[in-house]
Structures are given as C-alpha cells and as structure tokens.
Amino acid sequence: MRVGFTVNGREETADDVWEGESLLYVLRERMGLPGSKNACEQGECGSCTVLLDGVPVCSCLVAAGQAEGRRVRTVEGLAEGDRQAPIQEAFVECGAVQCGFCTPGLLVQAHDLIERVPRPSDADIREALAGNLCRCTGYEKILAAVRLAANRRAENP
Amino acid sequence: MSVAPARAPRDIAAPGGGGVGDSALRPDGVLKVRGEFAYSSDLWIDGMLWGATLRSPHPRAKILSIDTSEALAHPGVWTVLTHEDVPGRKHFGVDHTWDQPVLAFDEVRHQGEPIALVAADHPETARRALEKIRIEYEVLEPLTDARRAAFDPAYPRVQPRGNVARHQPVRVGDVDAARELAEVVVSGEFQVGMQDQAFLGPESGLAIPAEDGGVDLYVATQWMHNDLEQIGPCLGLAEDKIRMTLSGVGGAFGGREDLSMQIHAAMLALRTGKPVKIVYNRYESFFGHVHRHPAQMRYEYGATKDGRIVYADVEIILDGGAYTSSTKNVVGNAASLAVGPYVIPNVRIDAYGVYTNNPPCGAMRGFGAVQACFAFESMMDRLADACGLDPVTVRQVNAAAEGSALATGQIIWAPLPMAEMLQTARELPMPAPADTGDLRDLPGGVSQTTHGEGVRRGVGYGVGLKNICFSEGYDDYSTARVRLEVIGGEPVAMVHTAAAEVGQGLVTLEAQIARTELGVRRVVIQPADNRVGDAGSSSASRQSYMTGGAVMTACQAVREGMAALAAARFGHARDDLSFTGDKVVSESAGVLGTIAELLGDAVIEETREYHHRPTTGMDPVTGRGDSHAQLALCVHRAVVDVDVDLGLVKVVELAAVQDVGRILNRVALEGQIHGGSAQGLGLAVMEEIVVENGRVRNPSFTDYLIPTILDMPPMRLEILENADPRAPYGLRGAGEPSTLSSTPAIVAAIRDATGLALTRVPVRPEHITGSS
Ligand code: FES
Ligand code: FES
C-alpha cells in the first residue's frame, strides 16, 4: 500500500508498504530517517518516540497506515537548521549522551515535557521520562540536562 | 574498489577545546542528538538484502536433518545457508576458544543456537522463510546442574572437552590450622542470577561483498581485531580481504565481545553477491549474546573476636553455559578477587567455570568480580553482626592498603586508601526521610501501595575491587596512529585507532590527549577500522589506560618531530620548546611563531603501540601470581526504603567514593560511575534472565526489567585522585568498579531495613515477604 504523512514539516510518501510495517520501520527504512531508534520494537523502551500530531508515541507500536495524513515530528525535526533545540544543546553540554541510543526518544519526550510544563520538578521529569530506558547513564546527567533546558526556556521564553 | 553505505561512519571533528583534565564535550555528541549518528542498525545501501537467523528452540537436541527447500522457494528469498555452507573453519570463539559452531550441525547445546540463515528482500520475508525450514530433532534432556557439572564425573558431557572449563585454586597459609584459632566463625551460601548486558542498540551490521572476493563489514563490536581473527578462518579469507569498520555502537558492557551476526552476514553477502544487513530484534538479542555467569558460592570466614579475619574458605561455581566464551578468564577474576580487598592470612579458594546446556555466559561489566563481590561483602556484614561491630569498622579492620598482599600474593603497589574511603562514605550527609505526603517518594510510587505504613529505612555499605586491563600474563596492548598537518591554515591532529567507542567517551579522551600533547586545538577522530593495529577490547575498564596510552605516546612522537623542525627553524634547544594554543613557544623567548607556519606542507605521522607492564599467570595449584596490571576501588553507601508488607524496595540514595587516580574528564567519569552503579542496582533488585530447564522465560524488556529513571535514585559522588605512578597521567580505569559495589551495598541496606538474610540477587519481593 501507499502511505503518506507530514514528517518534520515535509510531505512524504512511501510505496509498497506492507500492512504490518510500523511507523518506525517506514521512517527508518523507507523515508531515510533513522534517527528514531529500534531498541525493542515492543513498546517498552521509548527509543522510537516521535510526536504524532504533537503527542509523544512509541512509533514501533503505531502501524504505518495509522499515520496516514497526520503530522509526525522526529528527532531529526527538533533542530532548526544548524541550530540545535535547547534540549539537544543541554544533552550535549551536560554529558547526558553516552552511547546515545536512548537519546532520540528521550529528546522528543523531554522536549514535549518542557513545552508543556515550564519549570518541571525532578519528580515531574522522572514521571515524564519513566518510559524511556537508558542503559548507560544512570539518568543523573539526563535529569541535569532537562533541568538546564527547562530553566533556559523559562528564562528566555 | 568497494562501495560505502549511504549511512556510514565518518571522520568526526572534535568540537571546542579541552585537554586532559577538562570536561571536554563528546565529538559525536551533536551527531547523536540530531539523530544523525550512524549506528550499526542504521546502515543502508541500495539493493541490500535482509538476513535472518534460525535458532534452536531446544536447549539440547540432536539434529537429524535440515530441509531448506521450501524456504528457498519462498518468493523474495535469495538464499538459505546451513553449516554445509560455512566456507572455512566451522567453529569460532572469543580468545582462541574455537568451540562454538558458526551454524550448528550434529547437536544444539543451548536454546537459541543458530542453525540456518536466510537472505531476503524484506526483513519480514526473511522471518517467514525461517518458519519454512524443516528441522528434525531428537530432543534430549538438558544438562543444567552446574554443581554436578563441576563435581560429578558421572554427569554426561555437554562438551567433548569435559564439563569443567577451568578450575582455579588459590592457597595461602593453612586454613585447617587457622580454623582451630578462630573465635568467631561465619558462613553462607550465596547466589547471583544471570544478568543481561541489555545494551539498547541491537546486534546489527552490514556486509558488502567486494570485487576482490573479500567483504566489507560494518559492525558494532568491542574488539575488531579479535573479531577478525575469528571471521577470517571461518570465511576462509585472508585478513586483508576483510575490511572492518566500526559502526555506531549502542552500548556494549561485555555483550559485544563475542561475535554475533558478523560471520553470518558475511556468508550471506558472499553467497548472494549483494549487501546484506542483519538487525536482531530484542527477543533475538537475548539469545544473540552471552550473559553474566550465574554463580553459586559457599563462604566460610573465621575471625578473632575483634573482627580480624584469620581464614577464608571459599567455593565459587560459575555456570558458563554451552560454550567457553570468556569463562576461563572470568574464573581467573573470581578466584583472584574472591575475598576482595581484605587482608586474610589463610585462604583456600576454589573457583570453577563449567559447561551446561544453559545459555552461554561470558563477559559483562565487572567480569567475575561482581559475583564474588556480592558474596564477600555479604560475609563482611555477617562478620560485623557476629562480632558486634558496625559494617564500616569491620571493613576498616581488615582493609587492604598500599603494600598489602591480595590472596594471590600480589602486592598492591599503588595507593589504595580503602579505610579512608569507607570513612568518607560513612560521613556523607544522609538523605531526608521519605516524604509520606508524596507517593512518588515511597516504594511502589504512584501505584499507591503504601502511604508510609510498613516502610522501613535501611543503610548498607559495599566495597568493590576490580582489576583493570587484561590480566594473567596477556600481552595487552593498543595501537594509535596520529597525523599532524595543516588544513585550512590551521594545524589538525588526526587520530586513528581500532578502539571501539561504545558510549564510554573514548573518542572524547583521545581528542583531549591530542590537544594536551600537541598543543593544537583542532582534532579529528577517524572511524575505527582494521587499517590500523590492534587496540584490544573496550572492556576491563582498559581503554583510557591502553588506547589513551597509545594516543599519548603517538602524539609524543609527533611532538618530537615538531620539536626537531622547530629547533632547526628557530635555533632553540628542543627542551626549551613547547607547543600550546597552536603556537610554538620558547621558555626563554616566549612565542616564536605558529605551528601552522612551522609545518607548512609537512605532514608528521607516527604510529605507536602501548603495552602495560607485564603480568604473570596464576599458578594452577596455588593461584599465586602477579596477575593484575592495576586495581581500582569503589565504595558505595546505599539508603533504601522497604515496604516490608509487600516486599517493594525504593533505593533512596546511592553514594559512591571512588579513587580514579587522575580525573581526565569529570563529566564523562561521573557518567561512568552513575551508569555502573545503575547496573549494580539492577542486579540487586530486578535484573535476571530466568532460566528453567535450559529455557529463557523472559526474553523481552516487558519481563526482563532494567532500571528506569524512577528506579535510579540521586547519587552523591566523592572522587579521589591518588595517582597510579605507572599509568598514563596517573589514571585508574573507572568503568567497572562501581558496578561491583553498588549491588552488595543495596542488599545490605535491605537487610538492615528488614533483618532478613537475603543470600540471592536479584532480591525479589517474595524474598522480603517470605511468600516464595
Ligand atoms: S523501540 Fe519502540 S518502545 Fe522500544
Ligand atoms: S546513552 Fe546509551 S542507552 Fe542511554
């Protein structure tokens, strides 16, 4: 089948999509957007998180056909040209990235949090990121990065 | 010439500045946050096929026949391969063990053992074709009793080579005589469950057939040259026909030291003449790599009434599963570190690694030292109770220090301020009591399992001692090539090694070292590949030491070349000259000029190998030997809240005191200690591959739980810098020690809260409520 939706502001279509293909697979293998990751493909790790019509979802659990005609934003769509989004800058500065495999999903999820909640508490951050596994960092630097990005955003809205 | 994939590893310019000691930023950080970093599962090339692997559903069975005809006829399938198609040697194995079939033939020895391969034009087509391969098995009763494998000569053999992969004794003094003198005797039996590395990036890679009959392999691995030593003979290809390039590695933790899909993808590519990509899913990943050895351990300590240990009698059985993998070296670690950093005059240790039909076990962060550490630290707490001492004091009374001997007789010749580190840990401020008004602060969290009733707080300590670098006489080295030239008017250092960046930040450190040694600002890290010499494995916390050392010495050689040019050009003595901020500086006359002017069109390139000091093997009878290159210590204090009615544990805080010799990059270092502590927490309270009769019951992230951001508490770190005079910059490897000590500290805290004995990790709710 043919599937079409908006990705990071651009209309994209994919042909010969098999009904069982996930949104994640179509993004990664058919649209040249491998930024969203495939750590479990069973909805448990959050590495594939994208915004679907502005709401974070695990793209491995969304059938590609369900995205038809909708708006998808992936990690590749967070930066504006060469300028990284504040949450991306903060992840690099704070050492929140090690292997980085969890990073795209965490960035999308954390970006959504700081857009919704101006000054999240640590408990808010933990709750929002509870579905995103990271095996490398022990999460301390990730918390630091989200705090930093949230503070910067609150200071320069 | 061969074609590179569209998404491929590339040169990475290290951003900003920062020499050794600065918290320089990761060179690959920006690519990673933009989603542009090329992980091994992201590789893509026009016309590529997808490979898939058929694995045994049985832990032990004879293979009577394999019929691939129906699968081959499946539309979209390009080829189906079995053991008959393995071009060269039929077995592989890390560290020259060569006992693992590339594809099983006569018998399968563990669930998930690979038997056949498919290449097809869509991953789902490949998976469906696997279902059409017909295999006739004679199913046999799996051999899963590690104790019988160790001691019962009548137990059937898993491997023709016998059921014991290695038995390593350690003997010091006279334990039987010391037993007469002991005023206090404590003993215990402890178990450690099978832990999984659970790196997030699945096993994956791309094989591209080349015109010269060879193959270009893009893979995520920990040790390219050891891969190559196995891949070459199995493919029947000379090593120069196999061009390996490290692709983005999504974590490793030991689980990528053994081969997974490398030979398989290459076989499919060579057979079809097409590029072949293989990506495991999470289910397959649980079968696609070795795990941490489960352990059964019996300990007995005798002591005087004041808590001084007079003897230790120890038996450790490590279940290596069906194939050897790293089991022999894991046994060496468990034996030599069986009683940890404590001075004990009489010791009898027997460590065994055995074969069973359980899943194969090999390298995981902490490598044999983790299992022993849980047992000996549990013993220290038992001893404290028996002598009426507090847990810190009993550790201080028996603590090793610089100049002490380990059980193997090895003298600790570098600073080891263990007693002081324990004191520091004890004196750190305590976290506030749980806020019973906020459910998120309590065990069970928003599941609303308690509002504070039944919740008890506990505090526990753990000390871990880890060997750094390869041990037991291995000639451990790394190689680095450094090239200095002027590009775009500025001097640029290009650093090329085969060392695997697996997330730990080695590429950051390489750039820092180049800046410090060469005085230049711009550094480019080239992709790791096998066009440069062996770097050894990214394991044993060794890469800062070994590849750091190699980059340092190669840079120093380049600097010598620069100094010779500068001495000739400016007429100053070489030892009057230094290089900093892209400039040539004379101590006597100040800035003489720029490095760019000095170099002009000249290119200075040097390659150096770095070896650490030689170690010796362990005596096969007494275990004596100077077997470790370096030792590193971490002390943890854990604070927990336990809901004793439901058995739920919340780790409230973890504090770590670690001596790293010299801080090379504080941010990266803290990340290592945090991450290691988190994996120790996982082993303490949640992580286990549950194996029943040889079968894995929980191969998914639904059922195999790793710590989330809700499970991991805030950490307090105290980092000490007592330099190791023999190591580059005085550093001490830092990746593993925290993984050892956090587990026993957390379990000790749960014991403190509950009064329970808790002899097995992970501790499960039913162990606490007594309902199991
Ligand atoms: S890959 Fe989608 S949740 Fe893990
Ligand atoms: S940085 Fe490796 S999984 Fe998070």
Closest Cα to atom 2 of ligand 2: A99
Q: Residue B1: is its pLDDT beyond 50?
A: no
Closest Cα to atom 4 of ligand 2: A134
Q: Last residue of some domain: B596, B611, B626?
A: B611
Q: What is the mean pLDDT of residues A110-137?
A: 96
Compute the distance between CA of residue B228 and CA of residue B231 in angstroms, rounded to an integer. Answer: 5
Q: Residue B629: is its pLDDT beyond 90?
A: yes
Chain A hits for B700, Cβ within 8 Å? 40, 42, 44
Mapping DSSP to helix (H, G, I), strand (E, B) and coil, where does residue B519 land?
A: coil
Q: Residue B66: is its pLDDT beyond 50?
A: yes
Give the list of residues 6+ apart from residue B153 with CB closer than 8 angstroms, or none. none
Q: Residue B436: is its pLDDT beyond 90?
A: no
Positive or negative, the CA dihedral B753, B757, B760, B765 is: negative
Task: Work out the burial of residue B341: count CB atoms within 10 Å of its CB; fewer than 13 is exposed, 13-18 middle, 19 or more buried.
Answer: buried
Instruction: Please choose, from the candidates B333, B339, B292, B295, the residue with its C-alpha nearest in 3D space to the C-alpha of residue B314.
Output: B339
Q: Do A54 and A98 belong to one domain?
A: no
Domain presence at residue B22: no
DSSP conformation letters of B194-262? BP----SSPSEEEEEE-TTS-EEEEE--SBHHHHHHHHHHHHT--GGGEEEEEPB----TTTTSS-SSH
Instruction: State how beta strands B715-720 and B630-643 pair.
Output: unpaired
Compute the distance between CA of residue B479 and CA of residue B490 in angstroms, rounded to an integer. Answer: 26
Compute the distance between CA of residue B376 and CA of residue B337 in angstroms, rounded to an integer. Answer: 10
Looking at per-residue pLDDT, the higher value among B96 and B661 belongs to B661
Domain presence at residue A116: yes
Q: What is the pLDDT of residue B435?
A: 84
Give the list of residues 6+ apart from residue B21 with CB closer than 8 angstroms, or none. B512, B662, B663, B664, B665
Distance B361 CA to ligand 1 centre (A): 26
Domain presence at residue B19: no
Give the list of residues 6+ apart from residue B413 with CB closer than 8 angstroms, or none. B402, B403
Q: What is the pLDDT of residue B2?
A: 55
Which CATH number characterizes residue A15's domain? 3.10.20.30
Q: Do B438 and B555 belong to one domain?
A: no
Q: What is the pLDDT of residue B772?
A: 63
Domain presence at residue B605: yes
Q: Do B458 and B589 belong to one domain?
A: no
pLDDT tens for residues B631-663? Answer: 999 999 999 999 999 999 999 999 999 999 999
Q: What is the mean pLDDT of residues B529-536?
A: 97
Q: What is the mean pLDDT of residues B465-484?
A: 97
Q: Do A61 and A97 belong to one domain?
A: no
Closest Cα to atom 3 of ligand 1: A43
Give the list of residues 6+ apart from residue A137 with CB closer than 8 angstroms, or none. A95, A96, A98, B671, B674, B675, B678
Domain presence at residue A111: yes
Shortest-distance ligand to the CA of residue A99: 2
Q: Do A41 and B714 touch (CB under 8 A)?
A: no
A105, A45 Cβ separation under 8 angstroms: yes
| Model ipTM over 0.90 | yes
Cβ-Cβ contacts under 8 Å between A and B: the total is: 186
Chain A hits for B28, Cβ within 8 Å? 100
Q: Do B271 and B133 belong to one domain?
A: yes
Compute the distance between CA of residue A62 and CA of residue A43 in angstroms, rounded to an integer. Answer: 10
Domain presence at residue B384: yes
Compute the distance between CA of residue B337 and CA of residue B372 in angstroms, rounded to an integer. Answer: 7
Task: Say how many residues make up chain A.
Answer: 157
Q: Do A68 and A90 belong to one domain?
A: no
Compute the distance between CA of residue A122 and CA of residue A139 in angstroms, rounded to an integer. Answer: 12
Q: What is the pLDDT of residue B549?
A: 98
Domain presence at residue B197: no
Domain presence at residue A99: yes
B27 to A90, B32, B250, B488, B538: CA distances (angstroms): 15, 10, 16, 20, 18
Out of A45, A47, A48, A101, mutate this one to test ligand 2's pocket (max ligand atoms within 8 Å of CB): namely A101
Domain presence at residue A51: yes
Which CATH number characterizes residue A115's domain? 1.10.150.120
Structural tokens at position B74: 């499946």
Q: Do A98 and B678 touch (CB under 8 A)?
A: no
Out of A36, A60, A102, A135, mutate this one to test ligand 1's pocket (max ligand atoms within 8 Å of CB): namely A60
Q: Do A142 and B438 touch (CB under 8 A)?
A: no
Compute the distance between CA of residue B213 and CA of residue B322 in angstroms, rounded to an integer. Answer: 34
Q: What are the residue ranges of helices labelled H in B120-223?
A: 123-131, 146-151, 175-181
- Average pLDDT of the residues of chain B: 97
Structural tokens at position B183: 């005023």
Q: Do A8 and A63 belong to one domain?
A: yes
Q: Do B108 and B241 belong to one domain?
A: yes
Q: Do A71 and A90 belong to one domain?
A: no
Q: Do B266 and B313 belong to one domain?
A: no
Q: Last residue of some domain: B567, B596, B611?
A: B611
Q: Residue A114: is its pLDDT beyond 60?
A: yes
Distance between B159 CA and the closest CA of chain A, angstroms: 33
Instruction: State how beta strands B577-580 and B522-525 pair.
Output: unpaired
Stated pTM of the model? 0.97
Q: Do B236 and B109 belong to one domain?
A: yes
Of the candidates B44, B251, B678, the beta carbon closest to that of A138 is on B678
C-alpha Rg value of chain B to the nearest Å: 27
Which CATH number characterizes residue B224's domain? 3.90.1170.50
Q: Which residue of B has its CA nearest to A84?
A: B34
SS3 letters for B656-688? Answer: EEEECCCCCCHHHHHHHHHHHHHHHHHHHHCCC
Domain presence at residue A81: no
Domain presence at residue A80: no
Q: Which residue of B has its CA nearest to A45?
A: B701
Distance B744 CA to ligand 2 centre (A): 24
B78, B306 Cβ separation under 8 angstroms: no
Shortest-distance ligand to the CA of residue A61: 1
Q: Do B338 and B363 belong to one domain?
A: yes
Q: Do A140 and B715 touch (CB under 8 A)?
A: yes
B759, B188 Cβ separation under 8 angstroms: yes
Phi, psi of B274 (to 5 degrees): -125, 155
Chain A hits for B23, Cβ within 8 Å? 95
Q: Do B200 and A98 touch (CB under 8 A)?
A: no
Instruction: State how beta strands A3-7 and A10-14 pair.
Output: antiparallel
Of the candidates A127, A131, A138, the beta carbon closest to that of B677 is on A138
Q: Last residue of some domain: A48, A75, A102?
A: A75
Ligand 1 lined by A43 (C-beta under 6 Å): yes
pLDDT tens for residues B140-184? Answer: 999 999 999 999 999 999 999 999 999 999 999 999 999 999 999
Q: Last residue of some domain: B611, B631, B650?
A: B611
Q: Do B440 and A39 touch (CB under 8 A)?
A: no
Of the candidates B202, B702, B712, the beta carbon closest to that of A139 is on B712
Structural tokens at position A130: 């509870």
pLDDT tens for residues B719-729? Answer: 999 999 999 99
Domain presence at residue A118: yes
Of the candidates A42, A79, A100, the beta carbon closest to that of B701 is on A42
Domain presence at residue B185: no
pLDDT band at A57 (very low <50, low <70, confident <90, very high): very high
Of ligand 1's listed atoms, the one at least distance from the Cα of A46 is: 3
Q: Do B713 and B694 belong to one domain?
A: yes
C-alpha Rg value of chain A to the nearest Å: 15
Q: Do B593 and B628 belong to one domain?
A: no
Q: Do A11 and A69 belong to one domain?
A: yes
Q: Do B343 and B449 belong to one domain?
A: yes
Looking at the 3D structure of chain B, how many domains does it have? 3
Instruction: Please choose, from the candidates B202, B173, B245, B238, the residue with its C-alpha nearest in 3D space to the C-alpha of residue B3.
Output: B245
Structural tokens at position B113: 């053992």
CB atoms < 10 A from the CB of B179, how many?
15
Q: Looking at the DSSP assignment, which residues form a beta bridge with residue B350?
A: B169, B315
Ligand 2 lined by B33 (C-beta under 6 Å): no
Domain presence at residue B154: no
pLDDT tens for residues B199-235? Answer: 999 999 999 999 999 999 999 999 999 999 999 999 9
Q: Do A63 and A106 belong to one domain?
A: no
Q: Would you tell me the crossing angle of helices B369-387 and B737-754 to the nearest 10 degrees?
A: 40
Looking at the 3D structure of chain A, how many domains does it have? 2
Looking at per-residue pLDDT, the higher value among B224 and B3 belongs to B224
Q: Last residue of some domain: A52, A75, A98?
A: A75
Domain presence at residue A45: yes
Distance between A93 CA and the closest CA of chain B, angstroms: 7
Q: Amino acid identity of B188? A: G
Mutate to test the interface with B, among A137, A140, A146 (most CBs of B within 10 A): A140
Q: Do B530 and B548 belong to one domain?
A: yes
H or E stretch at B94: none
Domain ranges, residue A66: 3-75
- Please report where in the chains the tokens 């000249």 appear, as a residue: B602
Domain ranges, residue B371: 291-471+617-769
Q: Residue A144: is its pLDDT beyond 50?
A: yes
Q: Residue B330: is its pLDDT beyond 50?
A: yes
Q: Do A90 and A61 belong to one domain?
A: no
Compute the distance between CA of residue B624 and CA of residue B74 in angstroms, rounded to an integer. Answer: 60
Q: Do B554 and B668 belong to one domain?
A: no
Q: What is the mean pLDDT of residues B682-698?
A: 98
Q: What is the pLDDT of residue B447?
A: 85
Q: Do A48 and A92 belong to one domain?
A: no
Task: Work out the burial of residue B290: count CB atoms within 10 Å of its CB; fewer than 13 is exposed, 13-18 middle, 19 or more buried.
Answer: buried
Chain B hits for A28, Cβ within 8 Å? 42
Q: Looking at the DSSP assignment, which residues form a beta bridge with residue B461?
A: B637
Q: Last residue of some domain: A25, A52, A75?
A: A75
Q: Do A99 and B201 touch (CB under 8 A)?
A: yes
Q: Do A126 and B37 touch (CB under 8 A)?
A: no
Mutate to test the interface with B, among A98, A107, A146, A147 (most CBs of B within 10 A): A98
Compute the distance between CA of residue B606 and CA of residue B551 in angstroms, rounded to an integer. Answer: 10
A33, A76 Cβ separation under 8 angstroms: yes
